Amino acid sequence: MTINVATGEYERGLQLLASNEKFYSTKRIDHFGIPLTSVYDFVMMKANPFISIQALDYYISYDDPVEALRYLMLLHLQGMPDDRSSMYQEKLALSPCCKR
């Protein structure tokens, strides 16, 4: 998963992380004492706005506006000024997942 992100295959890496998170939750892997690194935790630990943008795009494309908004907020926490994030704000607002 992290190899995909390190080699620039962001979408594939995010897919694997999201799949891992879903599997972890549905199969209750927490009962085995194995900690979960969620997609959000992974992206936050990287502290790289470019990866946050990739996650934002990923969740927009997979029709999940709530998660996409988390990454938009993360961009703000990472210090991206509002004027530089306005294009991502508009992209999320205009996405089909937000027009329902």
User: Which CA distances in Å does 37 have to 18, 30, 49, 85?
Assistant: 10, 11, 19, 26
In this structure, are residues 36 and 21 in contact, taking their beta carbons and an 8 Å threshold?
yes
**Residues of the chain with confidence (pLDDT) below 50:** none
Q: Is residue 43 part of a domain?
A: yes
Domain tally, the chain: 1
Helix (H, G, I), strand (E, B) or coil at 43: helix
Q: Is residue 59 part of a domain?
A: yes
Q: Is residue 68 part of a domain?
A: yes
pTM for this predicted structure = 0.85
pLDDT value of residue 78: 95
Q: Is residue 21 part of a domain?
A: no
Q: Is residue 25 part of a domain?
A: no
| CA distance linking residue 15 with residue 17, whole number of Å | 6
pLDDT value of residue 69: 95
pLDDT value of residue 89: 93
Q: Is residue 51 part of a domain?
A: yes
pLDDT value of residue 1: 61
Q: Is residue 32 part of a domain?
A: no
Domain span holding position 12? 2-16+37-98
